A and B are shown apart, each in its own frame.
Chain A
Amino acid sequence: MRFVPILFVAALMPLGAQEVKMPAGLEKLAAKADETVDVNVDASLLKLAGKFLSGKSEDETARKILEGLQSITVRSYEFSQEGQYDSRDLDEIRAQVKAPQWSRIVGVRSKRDRENVDVYFKDGGNGNLGGIVVICEEPTELTIVSVVGTIDPSQLASLSGQFGIPRFDFEIGNTGWRRDEK
């Protein structure tokens, strides 16, 4: 019986290790921002959401996605003018998504739109993803998304535009990644 707490802690350890923590420094940005949006959807809410889905095929896909997820966190900041945040404000979060566990799958640098988008995937084993982090930097907007849980790459597109995650389509073409923002 005394092994139960040990097993419990051991079971929680990989979950804790998977989570990408939003740096405390982001609070400073919230003070400068004109508008901020925080979304925190935890495992209990995701589980509850799964209960509501009917037996339709599209709901079945959504249910499968929800089953594997542990949390979705979004931090979004809108500033009235440029220069209110610095790329260095994101150093702490970038430090958490380093190889070998994490890979930067998409890196978009748009000089025209002055937009930078980075998408990091975590290897969850068995061909699944263990987590996703998206960082979108625009001159007056900053959005950080962290999705924790087991995600089938083929179901990835279904998460786009859902649960506060920005709608981004990523495609692999002959010339590499192409992104269409909707």
Chain B
Amino acid sequence: MKTRFAALFLAAAGAAFSAQNEFDRVVSAVEQHYGVKRTYIPLMGMANFIVKVAHPAGTSGFKIAVFEDLPDVGDQTDLDRLMDRICAGHLHPMIVTRERHGDSTYILTGESGKSTRIFIATFEPHEATVIEATVNFDTLLKMIGSPGNAHRMFQADRDDDNGGR
């Protein structure tokens, strides 16, 4: 019985560690690519806690990383290459939206047990945000049904976290 518990514990810990690694891997890839470090957000732990229990609906396990003062992110091909590298074998690019003179958003998915983990990477000319969240089916459907607005579901939360930056 003890062995079974130990095996279950290890499996659960492994899944949690892997999820943690995935977010860190995405953040690290953006940092390395643009030679910047994610911006420290004061009271981020508190923000995470508030976001986790409040918004957006159907979302849990929320993580966020903000990057400021990026070199120009205007080259779409370069951005696509970066995201291809990030996705390779790990994540599936479900929705990609691009505005020629504005934001580019990549919504990536990865299975996490019975739920879906999503990564939303939004790139503005000199800023980027990476969000990881676990979403339920209704939220996922809303995102797929309205792909152009999918990243905006998280916009308010991101701005709140940054003090309305």
A-side residues, CB < 8 A to B, are 30-31, 33-42, 44-45, 48-49, 51-53, 74, 161-164
Q: Smallest Cβ distance from A22 to chain B, in angstroms?
A: 12
Q: Smallest Cβ distance from A136 to chain B, in angstroms?
A: 15
- Identity of the chain A residue whose Cβ is nearest the Cβ of B111 in the assembled complex: A48
- Identity of the chain A residue whose Cβ is nearest the Cβ of B96 in the assembled complex: A38
In the bound complex, residues from chain A placing their C-beta under 8 Å from that of B99 are 34-35
In the bound complex, residues from chain A placing their C-beta under 8 Å from that of B109 are 45
Taking a contact as CB atoms under 8 Å apart, the answer to whether A35 and B95 are in contact is no
Taking a contact as CB atoms under 8 Å apart, the answer to whether B137 and A35 are in contact is no
In the bound complex, residues from chain A placing their C-beta under 8 Å from that of B97 are 35-38
Q: A33-B98, A44-B92, A53-B137 are in contact. List 8 more A-B contacts (CB 8 A).
A: A35-B100, A38-B97, A39-B147, A40-B95, A42-B92, A52-B114, A162-B144, A164-B95
Work out how many contacts link A and B, with CB atoms closer than 8 A.
Answer: 65
B-side residues, CB < 8 A to A, are 76, 92-101, 109, 111, 114, 116, 136-137, 140-141, 144-145, 147-148
**A52 to B109 CA separation, bound complex (whole angstroms):** 15
**A74 to B147 CA separation, bound complex (whole angstroms):** 10
**A162 to B147 CA separation, bound complex (whole angstroms):** 11
In the bound complex, residues from chain A placing their C-beta under 8 Å from that of B76 are 30-31
In the bound complex, residues from chain A placing their C-beta under 8 Å from that of B116 are 45, 48
In the bound complex, residues from chain A placing their C-beta under 8 Å from that of B114 are 51-52
Taking a contact as CB atoms under 8 Å apart, the answer to whether A49 and B94 are in contact is no
In the bound complex, residues from chain B placing their C-beta under 8 Å from that of A161 are 145
Q: Smallest Cβ distance from A65 to chain B, in angstroms?
A: 13
Assuming the A-B contacts A35-B98, A40-B94, A42-B92, are A52 and B136 also in contact, with contact meaning beta carbons closer than 8 angstroms in the complex? yes
